[in-house]
């Protein structure tokens, strides 16, 4: 599937305000907010154990374990007096009320001090209605994402067992954009927009801190040209794109937490509590299981990745990651493996001559450790979902992969090939055994069970998995003959 567009749109738009708070609320609970507001808060200075955000290890489902304790506001600490450089103008559009512009200025100064990055220029900003921002986002998003591309994405996700046949991805994104917009920083236009509610309250102020952190990232590291975070680059390597996105969002999320610890007022806390007590997201809640997990990935795991770097060397260590970017979801999930453990390039032979003209390539790329995990733990069929721990262990040994998806328009058949290299033969065997349990839940009892070959004949066709040294090869095809021909082509020197 083409994750590049989803990666970029998640970065551009905070789909749901919970994403902004997922680091704090999913990891320490709403109840802890009140505790934090009643304790003395210190601005980050040096990377000591006392000054960093300490969060416990989590499993990919802990975001659903949110607590709902009462929040107790306390006295507001005095803000720092760090100012913008004297020659740096503040771009304020006329429609922003003066009192809100003053708050934005102050939040920017606070973010600059906390993040220890200096702005290189102004950022145009505006306070928009939800409908105005939605229209802007829809224009940008659907200019580069057609219904045909959405259909191809759906075909790939169906083959992986993540999406049901007939799911309308294009319509889903349209609905989600109408529901889940909170704000954006557009790194192409250098513009920052925040949704206007009844006033510029806690959620809006917190959103602004997060989005201004993105503006500082852009001015210091150049998101588009310096980091090569573009539609084209993400289409070329969506795995790298997901890792860069996690760095960007983890950085902004950690900063946003520090802003809350140091500068949120009692009114901000109450506003946020009130927001959560009334917030509903029926479109997001109805999304396929894997998609909900995927949307939260850059915030949850990105925060843990950035916190790991900060623990080693403060913001300077985080800044260094922008000149030596993470390149895989494996590095984000396991920050101790960054930067040395890089994906191993894996190649697939050209299959088009074998298939014939009636088959059309709809997608190719890298699944990565994250999507390997999603396939095993968060597929469409609940009976095929492995436990969190087993799915994590089975995907943990990922070393590199290549996948390709073809579609036969005439008979609507799908062909999927996933060729994965694992870090050891033992890791390959572990995935092989877990995949057997997963696919038995998805397709029923296997028709072939050997030490190096599993196969299932099912309603949608034929599926097999081969194990050879450190490699596993998953083939989903309309029939056994085609699957065998694909396997022979992969084995050919």
pLDDT in single tens digits along all 493 residues of the chain? 655 444 544 444 443 433 444 433 433 333 333 333 333 333 333 333 333 233 333 233 333 333 333 333 333 333 222 333 333 444 444 378 888 889 999 999 999 999 999 999 888 887 778 788 778 878 877 888 889 999 999 999 999 999 999 999 999 988 887 776 667 888 778 888 877 765 789 988 998 899 999 999 999 999 999 999 988 899 899 999 999 999 999 999 999 999 999 999 999 999 988 888 888 889 888 999 999 999 999 999 999 999 999 999 999 999 999 999 999 999 999 999 999 999 999 999 999 999 999 999 999 999 999 999 999 999 999 999 999 999 999 999 999 999 999 999 999 999 999 999 999 999 999 999 999 999 999 999 999 999 999 999 999 899 999 999 999 999 999 999 999 999 999 998 8
Ramachandran sector of residue 365 (left: φ over 0; alpha: ψ -120 to 50; beta: rest): left
Query: Burial of 179 by CB count in 10 Å (0-12 exposed, 13-18 middle, 19+ buried)?
Result: middle
DSSP string of 360-427, one letter each residue: EEEEEE--HHHHHHHHHHS-S-GGGPPPHHHHHHHHHTEEEEEEEEEEETTTTEEEEEEEEEESSHHH
pLDDT for res 292? 92
Three-state SS sequence of 222-283:
CCCCCCCCCHHHHHHCHHHHHHHHHHHHHHHHHHHHHHHHHHCCHHHHHHHHHHHHHCCCHH
pLDDT for res 412? 95
Instruction: Describe the chain by its helix, strand, coil percentages, rounded to 5.
Output: 50, 15, 35
Q: Report the C-alpha gap between 462 and 455 in whole angstroms.
A: 7
CATH architecture of 352-491: 3-Layer(aba) Sandwich (3.40)
Find out whether 472 and 455 touch, Cβ atoms under 8 Å: no
Q: Report the C-alpha gap between 326 and 305 in whole angstroms.
A: 10
Find out whether 342 and 332 touch, Cβ atoms under 8 Å: no
Q: Which two tokens stand for residue 358?
A: 């009636």
Contacts of 24 (CB under 8 A, 6+ apart): 32, 33, 257, 260
Q: Which two tokens stand for residue 105?
A: 């200025």
**CA angle, 457 then 458 then 460, to 5°:** 125
Q: Report the C-alpha gap between 268 and 276 in whole angstroms.
A: 12
* Domain limits, the chain: 4-337, 352-491
Find out whether 37 and 206 touch, Cβ atoms under 8 Å: no
Find out whether 326 and 339 touch, Cβ atoms under 8 Å: yes
Return the closest-CA partner of residue 217 out of 245, 196, 183.
Answer: 245
The dihedrals phi and psi of 422, each to the nearest 5 degrees, come to -105, 165
Q: Report the C-alpha gap between 177 and 15 in whole angstroms.
A: 7
What's the pTM? 0.84
Find out whether 163 and 97 touch, Cβ atoms under 8 Å: no
């Amino acid at each position: 599937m083409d994750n590049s567009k989803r990666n970029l749109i998640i970065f551009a738009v905070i789909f749901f305000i919970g994403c902004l708070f997922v680091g704090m609320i999913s990891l320490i609970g709403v109840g802890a907010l009140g505790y934090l507001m009643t304790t003395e808060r210190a601005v980050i200075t040096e990377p000591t154990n006392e000054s960093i955000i300490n969060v416990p290890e989590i499993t990919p489902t802990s975001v659903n374990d949110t607590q709902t304790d009462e929040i107790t506001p306390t006295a507001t600490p005095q803000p720092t007096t760090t100012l913008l450089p004297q020659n740096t103008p503040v771009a304020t559009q006329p429609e922003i009320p003066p009192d809100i512009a003053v708050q934005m200025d102050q939040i920017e100064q606070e973010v600059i001090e906390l993040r220890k990055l200096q702005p290189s220029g102004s950022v145009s900003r505006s306070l928009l209605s939800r409908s105005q921002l939605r229209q802007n986002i829809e224009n940008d998003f659907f200019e580069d994402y057609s219904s045909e591309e959405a259909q191809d994405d759906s075909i790939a996700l169906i083959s992986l067992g993540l999406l049901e046949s007939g799911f309308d991805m294009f319509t889903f994104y349209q609905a989600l954009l109408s529901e889940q917009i909170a704000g954006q920083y557009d790194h192409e236009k250098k513009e920052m927009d925040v949704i206007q509610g009844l006033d510029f309250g806690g959620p809006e102020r917190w959103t602004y801190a997060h989005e201004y952190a993105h503006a500082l990232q852009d001015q210091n590291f150049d998101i588009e040209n310096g980091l090569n975070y573009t539609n084209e680059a993400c289409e070329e390597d969506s795995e790298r794109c997901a890792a860069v996105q996690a760095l960007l969002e983890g950085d902004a999320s950690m900063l946003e937490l520090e802003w809350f610890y140091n500068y949120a007022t009692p009114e901000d806390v109450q506003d946020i509590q009130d927001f959560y007590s009334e917030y509903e997201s029926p479109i997001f809640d109805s999304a396929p299981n894997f998609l909900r997990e995927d949307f939260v990935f850059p915030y949850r795991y990105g925060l843990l990745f950035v916190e790991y770097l900060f623990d080693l060397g403060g913001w300077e260590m985080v800044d260094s990651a922008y000149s030596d970017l993470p390149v895989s979801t494996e590095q984000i999930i396991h920050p101790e493996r960054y930067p040395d453990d890089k994906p191993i390039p894996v190649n697939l032979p050209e299959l088009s001559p074998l298939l014939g003209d009636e088959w059309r390539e709809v997608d190719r790329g890298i699944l990565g450790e994250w999507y390997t995990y999603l396939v095993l733990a968060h597929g469409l069929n609940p009976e095929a979902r492995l436990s969190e721990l087993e799915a994590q262990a089975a995907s943990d040994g990922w070393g590199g992969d290549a996948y390709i998806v073809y579609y036969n328009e005439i008979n609507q058949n799908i062909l999927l090939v996933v060729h994965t290299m694992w870090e050891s033969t033992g890791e390959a065997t572990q995935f092989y055994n877990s995949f057997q349990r997963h696919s038995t839940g998805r397709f029923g009892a296997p028709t072939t069970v050997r030490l190096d070959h599993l196969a299932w004949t099912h309603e949608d066709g034929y599926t097999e998995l081969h194990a050879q040294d450190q490699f596993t090869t998953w083939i989903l095809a309309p029939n056994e003959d085609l699957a065998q021909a694909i396997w022979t082509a992969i084995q050919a020197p």
